[in-house]
Chains A and B, each alone.
Chain A
Amino acid sequence: MSRAGYQREYHVAVIGSGGVGKSCLTAQFVQGVFIESYDPTIEDSYRKQIEVDGRQVMLEIMDTAGTEQFTSMREFYMRDAHGFLLVFSITSLTSLQELAELREQIVQIKGGDPNVPIVLVGNKSDLEEDRKVSRSQAFKVSQAWGNVPYYETSARRRQNVPEVFVDVCRQIMRKDLSRARRDRGPERPGYGGGSGHTYSRRRRPRRQKTYDDDDYYEPREKRSRCVIL
């Protein structure tokens, strides 16, 4: 598969415990401008084309809002996603703590890859007076996770909403490119398949990270982006 030939389509999973405003974030991002009514039941409900660094990218947002409790589903989302928004609410310390577990799961599912494109998102920044998670606290966590960018957003006020998606998208693209450069030989079949197996879950070939994926990633460059508004 030649990556350059296709319009890039990336899957971004928005993950976080219930009540942190994930769905708000996604709805705001996908909806863009005000539309008469938002119908989340159609195919394109969570798709949005954006331009990142001069490239057109189709983002498909996989929001677990509503299915947080289906823990078995979670892995589905995680495995399909190329990048992650880990969302917590700055008004709830628990919501940040719960992310740690989810982040671990992501890393595990992505074959222990510590450089999975992740953005840490502290939502509800408009509720400053109810803040329970200080910026430094959150920033520390983001550093602990390999200097992942940390943003504070307000889905309600549309602050930093596109930014977080663009950031994670940029990470995915960078990774995608470095990988393409390195990628020699045929595309590996889907997960679960040893060399002799043809079993692939996907019709559309997609790079799947599996547990024993032995791809080697260059250590990511030092990042210290922290956008706080």
Chain B
Amino acid sequence: MENQSLSTAGFVRNYGRHEHTPNTRQPSKLTTGLTGVVFQVQMTPPETPVSSHDNDALLPGRALFHNYLRALYHFDPSAALPRNNGDESLLTTTAIKPGDLILVHSVHANGWADGTVLTTGERGWLPTNYCEAYDHPYLRNLLNAMTQLWDLLGANEDANFSNFIRQDYIRGLIAGVRYILEHADCLHRNAALVQQYTGIRRMRKGLLADLSSLVQIARSLQETISEPFAGELIHYLLDDLMAKAFKVVTRAVGFVDMWSKETTEVRLNVRNRDSTHLPMTPPSNYDDLTIDIDASRQEVDTDPVDSAKCLPAAEFEEQRGQAVAGAQSEARRLDHGEQSSIARYSKRQSSLAHRLSLTKAERNPCSALASEQLAHVHDVCISNIGAFIGHHLHARPASELVETTERLVNACEAMLIIVDDVYAHDVRRSASVRQARLNFQATLGDLIKATKEVFSFSDLEEGEVVVLRDQSDHLITVGTSLIRSSGECVAKTRGLIEQMGDFELENRPRGMRGADQPAIEPPQGLAQVQERSLRPKSTSTEKRFSRKTLPPPPPICKRSSIVTDTFDFALDSPDDAPVAGVPTTVPFAGSLASNALSPRRGSAAMLPEPVTINGATLRHCRSSRLVNGSSPARQDSVGISIAGSADTYRSSTRNSAITAVSEVSTRATTPEKSNEPASSDDALLSSFNSISSMRSGNTDVELDAETQLLQKTYASELTFSKDGHVSGGSLPALVEKLTTHDSTPDPQFVSAFYITFRLFTTPRELAQALVARFDYIGDNRAVGMPVKLRICNIFKGWLETHWNAEADKDALGEIRYFALHTLKPHLPSAGERLVDLTRKVSTVYRTGTIQGPLVSGVGKTSLSIGLSQDSSKAIPEPVVTRSQLQALRTATSGGHQCSVTELDPVEVARQLALITSAIFCEIQADELLEWNKKGTKSEQNVRRMCALNNDIAHVVADTILEPDDARKRALIIKHWAKVAEACLELNNYDSLMAIMCTLNSSVVQRLKRTWELVSKKTKVRMEEMNAVIDIEKNHASLRKRLESPFAPCIPFLGIYLTDLTFLDVGNSKKRDLPGAASGQPTSVINFDKYMRMAKVVTHLQNFQVPYRLQPVQEMQAWLDAYLQRMRAMQDEMIVHFHRRSLMVEPKRERLPRMADGKKSGDAGSGEERPKTATGKERFETFLRNNSFGFKVHDMPLPVVPNAEKHG
């Protein structure tokens, strides 16, 4: 069962990785389809404990694969699983808490996911319907890096540790964190946001502390790995590392939550007003914000209506809900009708703030502007009224009613306070506001009165008050009118604000406090003061009345875990959960839904249908029944029996007393809000404090770490292959990799970069990128210096060994300028050296003395060093006799031709090797990379190699076909076979290939009489060599021989040219960043391609070592002359060989049989095919005309003169 699910899951994962899109508006058709699956499938992972058909949040997550989920609800396998009599399910399922971030490994079709909870590090099955997909543009890089790290280390036991040594993966995490901070404008400690908000400051501090300890672990891991007996320790360290990485991610999520909480208002305000007094505003604009909210809110705004339709039973509630929604929408319409833009922004803001459970305006330290505060309190107010109304749609325990009412009153008071503030700001023009305010207050009074009546009728104990039907109807009516009047009031007030301009409310309380207060305070303190100063203002009698008359709310116990748990602080607190947010197109729905989805309190709330912007109308209300199914805790409230057990029920009932309050509210509310934020926030912050102070007791260390960690980096634009190599990256990212400060650059990477950079960038761009890197690294001692030195070295290496005078001349000016004006002031000696090098290079270019690297012997990588031939071996004496030399001299000078059989085959092979090697060793990397590009002339050595190969083949053919005597031909064949063998011995595969090609060519092979005279021994030998050069299976045998670098050796160039051609054609130039799929598609240089190409080039270069052989001038001259002769008439030679072959052993021998075949073939072709005068015909005509009485020796083989011409 496990296997099956895993394999399915694997599929889902693979599929999902590619299909990962941010599109969250899943067609709701999917809902039913997938639900069907859920009901049918009965297998592990266990069936969803809740009927998931009514939880819209999980469905997109199932259709798409999300790497990360965020838990919305508690899930406790020990309690929740229906069939947990055995330990099995307990072992494989894992508990989640709201806010937990989960790295998903696979998702089973039934909705269970195999995931690791980052907060706890536990891995197991968990229900996806308890979670939502988590994605945030700021966090994307970090999450990607995390995924990569997991894939590298977490997934398999035998992870390749050696990759790890280069720290690339850790760097990815660092870059991810930096990306967040950068985009959050919190990169520097002195950034205004950081200064301004305690929460952000502490979160940031904690995040960095975690990050630096992660880096430390990574370092110690690196050190340990290199030790021989690391063994167990490594595994511990790896576990540590992974846990720490999890924590960094968790913390980053917390940071982003905190950040969006703290800054949303600021950002929005800046949009509303062109000029801002705030010193620091993120450059990112409103759109960014909506995106980020949208992303984090992915699934909330899926249309719940369709799922509602599947459950007709829900209709009743739905209708009622609609009534409420209608009322609410009216209020909203008022907002929108008047100042849609402000309203929209503030709505958005308020919804954000709302999820942060800032029920009271005074608790919100950052709502600086009146309009925002107003919107915020209104939002809270509306949601409370909604909860109130919702409450009465169901018969709920009175204690909940009391609580709801209390919160409602509190919220309304808070709103009144703001309205008063605004009103106080400008008394002259606010008559309408005043009226609206009074109406609102009156309605509130009505509501309180009505509520009171409910209780006054009851003589039972408080907890058992029964609300009568018409009573509750009345309450609903009152509530509805309260919504209306509050909307009106807010709209009027907003109009007022608009008229007189927005102002900062928080200044007022400060001002009221008097001048004795310090001008700048930490936000926290400010918040407290604000609270203090506002409290006395809340003089509303209703509040007191309600406090007095209404029974106290039930004890709220569930938040205690948050307070005690320091690690979970950020995630466990629903206040910080980014579950709320406003999708761009549905400004209200997001906040509504978010409340509904908030843990504990909201799950039972109604999920209203998303509202369209223009209408601001709530078309539908989600029935409570629907939502009920979304959490096991809700089972009791409606009588749907779901696939859950009594255990589930029990575990959830502790919350249900509270959550049920908001059962049918249009605006879900948080019962505990008003009581809790202070404690949870404080606990949160203090826990943070303790952690970060623990981590970084020493400020200097922290500072240093911080600057190190926060250096500008493009590491997020770098991708790695599974084996740990850089597989892609933008130019700056690659340059950065080239000049890392904390590890020596991977030599393979560096050489690949040097070799191939001209294929993906221009030399000038590279120079500029290096200079830019020099500029942005800064002057930091620990980081800046090593990087700057590396940059120098890169320039140096480029100029010294990889300079291509022609191609790189454009970059020279850039480099010289850099050396003179940037480098020299910093590092005088290095600058001087670089200037010197540029001078040399340009001199060389002008005079054209050296074509190639400045430093002799290396146009290649360091890898080839040490491969040079063992110098202790003596150079072998040439095997050549005096008479042979004489014969050769005679032949070369045009005298009697010398036959190859007169020469020692070993010596011929040696001289061939010398000739070939001379060309081979001159081949430059660029020639190989661009050899087939048209219009380049740099490939001359490659072409010479090809030509030489052909010439040798022709020489062999020529010598074999020369004698008329079959026996002589057989001897020559035997001789060449010996030469070939000697070539093999010398690792001269190029010449071996040439010789064997000829021996196998049809012109030679068809000489049956000759082959009859070739000894069996020779044939066996040839067969052996044929096996070596076999082209079968992509030259498998030859490749194997050339696998390990040894030198000197002349490989067969053709293979490598083919490889390079296909690497070029078969791999694209760009590749997408892995994270790009989920957002902006970013493509970077596909460095993998160039790495591979460079590998081929490097491989060849490894062989570029000259032979330690003594040249025999006479033999070389003779060979040269012969080769040149072949070159001169290479075109005719093929024809000549055919003719010659036919001449020495005419077809006539087998004429009787051949004639038949030939005849019919010819006849066929003659009849069927209209033959033009093809080459073949011309060839045959040519043969008929010339083949008789023609002697090879008389062939126009222009000997020496031509050789001179070509030499």
Contacts and interface: CB of A to CB of B under 8 A. Distances in A.
Contacts of A23: 1061-1062, 1064-1066
Nearest to B1164: A219
A100 B1174 contact: yes
Interface of A is mostly: loop
Contacts of B1055: 67
B1002 A108 contact: yes
Contacts of A66: 932, 1054, 1056-1062
A147 interface: yes
A23 B1022 CA distance: 31
Interface size class of A (residues with CB under 8 A): 35 or more
Interface stretch (A31-39, A122-130, A164-172, A177-185): A31-39
Contacts of B1019: 197-199
A75 B1063 CA distance: 24
A143 B1032 contact: no
B1169 A194 contact: no
A73 B993 contact: yes
Interface of B, secondary structure class, is helix
A43 B1023 contact: no
A72 B932 CA distance: 19
Contacts of B1057: 66-67
Interface stretch (B190-198, B347-355, B881-889, B947-955): B947-955
A37 B1036 contact: no
Interface stretch (B398-406, B465-473, B851-859, B1088-1096): B1088-1096
A222 B1164 CA distance: 12
Contacts of B1066: 23, 27, 31, 38, 40
A71 B1134 contact: yes
Contacts of B1158: 112
Interface string A55-82: 0000010111111011111011101100
Contact of A41 (B721, B1059, B1157): B1059
A203 B1027 contact: yes
A41 B1096 contact: yes
Interface residues of B, number: 78
Contacts of A198: 1016, 1019
Contacts of A62: 1031
Contacts of B1058: 40, 63-67
B319 interface: no
A229 interface: no
A166 B943 CA distance: 34
A176 B816 CA distance: 68
A75 B949 CA distance: 14
Given A38-B1062, A67-B1054, A107-B1176, A60 B1096 contact: no
A193 B1060 contact: no
B1032 A146 contact: no
Contacts of B1156: 214, 216
Contacts of B1032: 60, 80
Interface string B578-597: 00000000000000000000
A114 B1164 contact: yes
Contact of B997 (A76, A105, A145): A76
A37 B622 CA distance: 49
A101 B1168 contact: no
B1059 A214 contact: no
Contacts of B1092: 37, 39
B781 interface: no
Contact of A104 (B1008, B1096, B1174): B1174
Interface string B908-939: 00000000000000000000000010100000
B1176 A108 contact: yes
Contact of B1169 (A31, A80, A144): A144
B796 interface: no
Interface in B941-994: 943, 946-947, 949-950, 953-954, 993-994
Contacts of A193: 1011
B1034 A42 contact: yes
Interface in B990-1008: 993-994, 997-998, 1000-1002, 1005-1006, 1008
22 contacts: A19-B934, A36-B721, A37-B1088, A40-B1062, A40-B1063, A43-B1036, A63-B1062, A64-B1058, A66-B1058, A67-B1054, A72-B953, A79-B1000, A104-B1174, A144-B1174, A146-B1165, A191-B1005, A192-B1005, A194-B1008, A211-B1006, A212-B1006, A212-B1154, A219-B1168
Given A64-B1058, A216-B1156, 19 more contacts: A23-B1062, A23-B1065, A36-B1088, A37-B1092, A39-B1092, A63-B1062, A67-B1058, A69-B950, A70-B993, A71-B950, A104-B1176, A112-B1161, A114-B1164, A144-B1172, A146-B1169, A194-B1008, A199-B1014, A212-B1154, A216-B1160
